[in-house]
Structure formats: structure tokens, C-alpha cells
A = this chain, B = another copy of it.
């Protein structure tokens, strides 16, 4: 061990720091398969805020880059190692410190797995809505660092909408609390929202105060299949314009439908252009809601409409959406995009994507959170085929360009990380980008927190 590393080991409890190559290697990557990862110095897994402070004081003293990590389920490379960095995995700080039923808040350490929190609050009749598809694995800390989305966003919003306050260890090892426990508060600038989504580049979150809601009734589901994508889009607009507030509104394009049907025979119509899956969780109104959503789809020419009458049927209808990810993984290597556009431009996005696929000779599959205009165009290519990988990259980039041209964003919920770092400036513009760099310098003057990510 180098002198600095042995100094760090002495500051931490036995076993907190691991430097053997096998372990370090296991922590090098998040789930963005196409992003490069460097060679880390080692991995530290702190169990207290004080240990995180000791790590950051040491890192500042020796100018060692630090990469904070959650469960590494991210899709943009934000948690990937950089050369010479210390990886700080927060997974052992995994205690739910408090669930307050009167104030409807939870106070948690960052390593708590989303599903564990969701279940713990459900046990007392409460609800933590953010539900990224990684929710059974991903940690609250990672969800906060990326401002994770999910299926619920169309009704309930994103992770940031459920964060009241944070405890954060700064680059120099000092700890600050930002935000509050109360429902409202406007004392000073909103540093909480600045830190949420900052992908570990401004500080390390060591505690979070999260807002909860009363648990909704179980949702009912409607699924509809359309011969024409444009009709499905009209249905989306009509349903969103109603007061029904769907708690889920998902979309599968023709390649998604085909991939799922090839993966598992669910009797999906492989010639259909589009499938919508919506839910209502409005309790006594849910049955009428999904019936009304189905009627809208029928009126707009849906070739098949199915409305669930109970939880079992609902689960069956949502399965097509859940199977997209495993189905796509069967097909080859992937570059998963995450653009969002105004809903009114979704038809243009989908048409443009088809043109891009044709022009680049690539295969693009596009499921998405259509109620929010947040789509996941996924470029599929043969593993190990360099020319195909290069074409995929061109398609991937062209889709981001298209989203920006349509008034959208390069990333709706996955974050910038490494994957989209070269694109951020295009979206923000020079001065806005420069302001972000200056804010980064306020929090991290030495540039040791997750360097080379986001900005």
C-alpha cells in the first residue's frame, strides 16, 4: 500500500477499506455497459457519517479523487471508477432511522434499498412513490444522486419531489444539513434541490429526510393496442387532459412489442404499431377510470383493449412493460437513450427515430414513460462488432440531437454521468454550463468529487 492509503486504513475501522484488485474490480462499473471505467485505488464502505468525513478529509489532504457509489444500477456511468480514485460505496449505511406517521416523513441513511423503504412505510399505511425500475436493488442514496424517476412519475413526480432535507459531507470533510423536515420552507437558497441529481459531484449524501404520502389503493390497469402510433398519441393526450390522473402511462413501440412477444408468448399482436398501458389508483374511482381510458382508446381505433378488474389481471397487463428490459437484453448489446420531449412532439420523436435507425442502419427499440414524454430509445447491436458499435453510437447521438431540436432534453431520468457528458453543454448553453462549473467549484474547489462526470 502507498503511504496515503495506509494512512486512510488507519483512520477507519478494520475491514472498511479494501484494496485488493478483485474486490476493487467488482466495484469499477455501474450498469452502463458502454462506459469506460478506470483503475481505482480501492473501495471503502463506511458505516457512519464520521467515517465519510474522515475519508473526505484524507482525500482533500492528498488530492485523491473520490467516486461515491450506491448499488451501481445507474445507466450513465456516473458511478464508474476513474483512475486513481477511491470508491466510496455507501451500501453499508443502510438504516431506516425514523418513520414518522404524523408528519409523514422518513429519515434514512443512503444505503437503504428503495424497495426496503417502500415496504417499511407501506407496513404503516404510507407510500414512498419514486419507483425506478431498479427499485429492488437501487439505494435511496443513488436515487437521490441521480434524481431517479420511474413509472409513478406521471402522477407523483420524481425523487426530488419527495426530498425535504439532506445531511451531506462536503469535499473537505465538513458536514452540512440542508433543507428541512417541515412540509414548507423558504429560508435561503434551495441547496437540497441543487444536491439532488448532482451525481456525487457536489458532496456525499449521508442522510435524507423524505416525504411520504398516505398509501393509495391498489391500482387497476388498462392496456390497448393500436395499428397506428399517432392514434395512441392522441389517446395519451386525451387521457392526460382528463382529470383522471393516471398513476402509470407506458408505451411500447412495434419493435418493443415484437421483442417481448419473441421473449415470451403473451399473444401480443406483432403487427401493431403501439401499445399503451395505463393505471388508475384512485380507489373507488379506479374501475371507472380504467374503463373510461379504455373507451377513449376504443374511440380512437384501438384494435384491442383490455381492462383489468382486479390486481391479478392488472399485473398480467403490466407484464408486457416489465418484460421489455429482459427481452431487449436477449437481443444483443445496447445503448439506452433517455430523452424527454414535450408530449406534443412525441409523434415527431418516434418518426425521427425511425429515420435515424434507417439512416444509420441500426435497430432501435423504443419503450417509454409516454405520459411524461420520457422515452428510452435503445439502440441494439451485435456484441463485439466494432463497426456496428460505431453505427449504434451515431444513432444514439442523433437521437439526442433530435430530442434537443424538438425542445426536449438529453436525459429525462438516467442522468448525465459519463455517457452524455459531451452533450450537456449543447443542452444548457455556454453561460448556463459555466454557472454550473462555478457552482461545482464552490462545493469542490479541488475537483476531487467524482471528477469527469456530469460537467
Interface residues of A, Cβ cutoff 8 Å to B: 100-105, 125, 146-147, 149, 153-154, 157-158, 160-161, 170, 174, 176-178, 180-191, 193-194, 196-198, 202, 214-217, 237, 240-243, 245, 283-285, 340-344, 369, 371-374, 407-416, 420, 424, 427-429, 431-433, 435-436, 438-440, 442-443, 454-455
Chain B residues within an 8 Å CB radius of A194: 189-190, 193-194
* Nearest CB of B to A192, in Å: 8
* Residue in A105, A197, A198, A413 with the greatest tally of chain B CB atoms within 10 Å: A197
Distance, CA A51 to CA B287, complexed state (A): 54
Complex A-B: 24 CB contacts under 8 Å:
A147-B186, A153-B183, A160-B190, A176-B431, A180-B408, A181-B342, A181-B407, A183-B373, A184-B409, A185-B340, A186-B197, A186-B411, A187-B416, A187-B420, A187-B427, A188-B416, A188-B427, A188-B432, A189-B194, A190-B196, A191-B432, A215-B243, A217-B243, A285-B285
Distance, CA A104 to CA B341, complexed state (A): 13
Distance, CA A245 to CA B281, complexed state (A): 13
Tell me whether A182 and B412 are in contact (CB under 8 A): yes
Contact of A442 among B176, B191, B217, B438 (CB under 8 A): B438
Known: A373-B182, A428-B188, A432-B177. A342 touches B103 (CB 8 A): yes
Chain B residues within an 8 Å CB radius of A146: 186
Tell me whether B373 and A176 are in contact (CB under 8 A): no
Distance, CA A233 to CA B161, complexed state (A): 26
Chain B residues within an 8 Å CB radius of A187: 409-411, 416, 420, 424, 427-428
Tell me whether B153 and A184 are in contact (CB under 8 A): yes
Tell me whether B242 and A214 are in contact (CB under 8 A): yes
Tell me whether A177 and B429 are in contact (CB under 8 A): yes
Chain B residues within an 8 Å CB radius of A454: 188
Tell me whether B178 and A189 are in contact (CB under 8 A): no
Chain B residues within an 8 Å CB radius of A415: 186
Chain B residues within an 8 Å CB radius of A409: 180, 182, 184-187
* Nearest CB of B to A213, in Å: 8
Chain B residues within an 8 Å CB radius of A374: 182-184
* Nearest CB of B to A328, in Å: 21
Chain B residues within an 8 Å CB radius of A105: 342
Chain B residues within an 8 Å CB radius of A371: 183
Contact of A435 among B160, B180, B442 (CB under 8 A): B442
Contact of A432 among B178, B186, B372 (CB under 8 A): B178
Chain B residues within an 8 Å CB radius of A245: 214
CB-CB nearest 9 A-B residue pairs: A193-B193, A185-B409, A183-B372, A102-B344, A182-B340, A184-B412, A438-B442, A103-B342, A214-B243
Chain B residues within an 8 Å CB radius of A161: 157, 161
Tell me whether A343 and B431 are in contact (CB under 8 A): no
* Nearest CB of B to A107, in Å: 11
Known: A101-B241, A184-B158. A191 touches B125 (CB 8 A): no
Known: A194-B193, A243-B216. A176 touches B435 (CB 8 A): yes
Chain B residues within an 8 Å CB radius of A188: 416, 424, 427-428, 432-433, 436, 454-455
Chain B residues within an 8 Å CB radius of A443: 435
Distance, CA A442 to CA B100, complexed state (A): 38
Chain B residues within an 8 Å CB radius of A101: 241
